[in-house]
Amino acid sequence: MTFKEFMAKVEAKNPGEPEFLQAVKSVVETIWDAYESNPRFVQNNILERLVEPERTIIFRVPWMDDNGEVHVNRGIRVQYNSAIGPYKGGIRFHPSVNLSTLKFLGFEQIFKNSLTSLPMGGGKGGSDFDARGRSDAEIMRFCQSFMAELYRHIGADLDVPAGDIGVGAREVGYMYGYYKKLRNEYTGVFTGKGRTWGGSLIRPEATGFGVVYFTNEMLKTKGTDFKGKTVALSGFGQVAWGVAQKVTELGGKVVTLSGPDGYVYDEEGLNEEKIAYMTELRASNNDRIADYADKFPNAKFFAGKRPWEVKVDIAIPAATQNELDADDAKALLANDVFCVCEAANMPCTAEAMGILLDAKILYAPGKAANAGGVATSGLEMTQNSMRLSWESEEVDEKLQSIMRNIHAACLEHGAQDDGYVDYFKGANVAGFIKVATAMCDQGLV
Ligand code: GLU
């Protein structure tokens, strides 16, 4: 079978799922040679098996708002691949959630989790629930209704969810509490838990910190670091918050943040007070970055725009999928941005990614750069199993070492003849080989 024939088959089987097809196409294109050159992989038809989730659960989530009105959302959990460990991946609550987004995220998660070198399979879940303007009681009722169905499909050795967009410590708490009540057991079935009830230190910061550790490794290959560099960052959620902290600590200057309403440019750069304010913004549940410019008047707000037009050295998209398109990529290059590191999952469109790779600047995909979040989830699972809690230094050290190893794996599989490192290819091939080999070893299941 040729790559074209393979894609035609996947497209025919998954119509109306653009994000999923985008992720599959871009990944399979880069692993095709590694697949075809291994007779065992071909003999076992690994690629066709890999793109088909092992199981998908779709369910109704009815809930009542504070006025007694009944609403219905759709809940989904994609249990994608369990070749190297229990299904593992976050839960996303956002109006844009549908089967296509969760399948793309679950598919990416297989490779990401494999790269961490921890025993975690790939999964993803979520709902099209919109938390904007909802009270705490409404959010709790929604989480409980969601868990009233999901609890029977997950478990500490089966499927371990965590947070993602719209799901932070509060939502994990409500879902975990309800799971515990229904199952009558206290196990590490969720990660991203609160510190006093099984959560790991550093987990909230881990995705952002990991992105910066990874970027630092990339910068090292060019003999430089974050000191004195300006950074365009998008989003203002937990991932962006971790990135902002670590970049600032390492001497870089984060000058932008963004939301669905536009972006803010703060020439002075973020500091401790402004980074702390990001948490307040997130808790406000209103999704407006414009509030930042009201609070810190030296910052300028640009309605309806994205931060990729600002002149900086490094760009870190940390909001959501396809938030950086071909025009944005061209604008970054025109401004001499020399490093783009993805903190979100698939924030660059396929076209944008092609432009950045062709320009041969430092460019890393989310599945490698943001793997520190799920890696630290893996460390949380280990601590839960041991009934122990590690100091933050210990977790942070392990996180740094994991990020260095992921970077090394990308170099090993992504180095080109001319010396350029294609991190996208490197991450895909490294993640793929391990999962594909495990699938072959385990027979036709
Ligand atoms: N949602 C995060 C991700 O995209 C974390 C998943 C987890 O910790 O399980 O990797």
Question: What digits encode the pLDDT tens for the residues 335-380?
Answer: 999 999 999 999 999 999 999 999 999 999 999 999 999 999 999 9
Q: How far is the CA of 282 from the centre of ligand 1 (A)?
A: 18
In one-letter notation, the amino acid at residue 240 is A
In ligand 1, which atom is closest to the CA atom of 370? 10
Residue from 377, 382, 403 to probe ligand 1 pocket by mutation (most atoms less than 8 Å from CB): 377
DSSP 8-state symbol, 166: T
Q: Which atom of ligand 1 is nearest to the CA of 161?
A: 9
What is residue 85's three-state secondary structure? coil
- pLDDT computed for residue 334 by the predictor: 98
pLDDT at 285: 83
Q: Which residues of 62-96 are buried (b: 16+ CB within 10 A; e: fewer)?
A: ebeeeeeeeeebebbbbbbbbbbbbbbbbbbbbee
The pLDDT assigned to 91 comes to 98
pLDDT > 90 fraction of the chain, expressed in percent and rounded: 99
| CA 422 / ligand 1 centre spacing (Å) | 24
CB of 260 closer than 8 Å to CB of 237: no
**Closest Cα partner for 294 from 340, 338, 262, 253?**
262
Residue 345 is predicted with a pLDDT of 98
Residue 16 corresponds to which tokens in the numbers above?
């109306």
In the block, which residue shows the tokens 């902290």? Answer: 245
Q: Which residues are catalytic?
A: 124
Quote the pLDDT of residue 312: 98
Q: How far apart are CA 296 and CA 108, in angstroms?
A: 37
pLDDT digits (tens, 9 = 90+) for 373-418: 999 999 999 999 999 999 999 999 999 999 999 999 999 999 999 9
Report the nearest-CA residue for atom 9 of ligand 1.
89
Taking phi first (over 0 means left), then psi (-120 to 50 degrees means alpha), and beta for anything else, what does residue 202 get?
Answer: left
Rounded mean pLDDT, 167-180: 97
Give pLDDT, residue 262: 98
Question: Ligand 1 centre from 112 Cα, in Å?
Answer: 9
Ligand 1 atom nearest the C-alpha of 120 is: 9
- Which atom of ligand 1 sits closest to the CA of residue 91? 1
Question: What does R_g of the chain's alpha carbons equal in angstroms?
Answer: 21
What pTM did the predictor assign?
0.97
Of 116, 76, 341, the C-alpha closest to 208 is 341
pLDDT for the residue numbered 321:
97
Ligand 1 atom with the smallest distance to the CA of 191 is: 8
Contact 208, 240 (CB under 8 A): yes
Rounded to the nearest angstrom, the distance between the alpha carbon of 148 and the centre of ligand 1 is 22
Residue 106 contacts residue 78 (beta carbons within 8 Å): yes
| Mutate which of 109, 158, 175 for ligand 1 pocket (most atoms within 8 A of beta carbon) | 109
pLDDT single digits (tens) 234-285: 999 999 999 999 999 999 999 999 999 999 999 999 999 999 999 999 988 8
Separation of alpha carbons 146 and 127, rounded Å: 9
- Bridge partners for 78 per DSSP: 56, 124
- What is the Å distance from ligand 1's center to 291 Cα? 28
CA of 124 from ligand 1 middle (Å) equals 8
Contacts (Cβ under 8 Å, ≥6 apart) of 378: 88, 113, 116, 118, 119, 120
Q: In 10 A of CB 58, how many CB atoms?
A: 12
- Ligand 1, atom 8, residue with closest C-alpha: 374
Catalogue all structural domains in the chain, each as residue range(s) with its CATH number. 3-186 (3.40.50.10860), 205-364 (3.40.50.720)
Ligand 1 centroid, distance to 418 Cα (angstroms): 34
Q: What is the DSSP string of 371-386?
A: HHHHHHHHHHHHHHHH
pLDDT tier, 90 (very low <50, low <70, confident <90, very high otherwise): very high
The tens digit of pLDDT for each residue in 422-432 reads 999 999 999 99
pLDDT at 300: 98
Q: Tally Cβ neighbours within 10 Å of residue 309.
A: 17
Average pLDDT, the chain: 98
- On the question of pLDDT at 42 being above 90, the answer is yes
Q: In this predicted model, what pLDDT tens digit does every residue of 301-321 receive, in sequence order?
A: 999 999 999 999 999 999 999
**Residues with C-beta less than 6 Å from any ligand 1 atom:** 88-90, 112, 162, 164, 191, 345, 373-374, 377
For the CA of 112, the nearest atom of ligand 1? 10
pLDDT tens across 94-131, in order? Answer: 999 999 999 999 999 999 999 999 999 999 999 999 99
How many A from CA of 29 to the centre of ligand 1? 24
In angstroms, the CA 88 to CA 108 distance is 12
As a whole number of angstroms, the distance between CA 167 and CA 184 comes to 23
- In the structure, what pLDDT confidence band is assigned to residue 286 with cuts at 50, 70 and 90? confident
- The label of the residue with tokens 């979520």 reads 126
For residue range 185-201, list pLDDT tens digits in order.
Answer: 999 999 999 999 999 99
- For the chain, the helix, strand and coil percentages under 3-state DSSP, each to the nearest 5: 50, 15, 35
Q: Residue 39 belongs to what H/E stretch?
A: helix 39-43
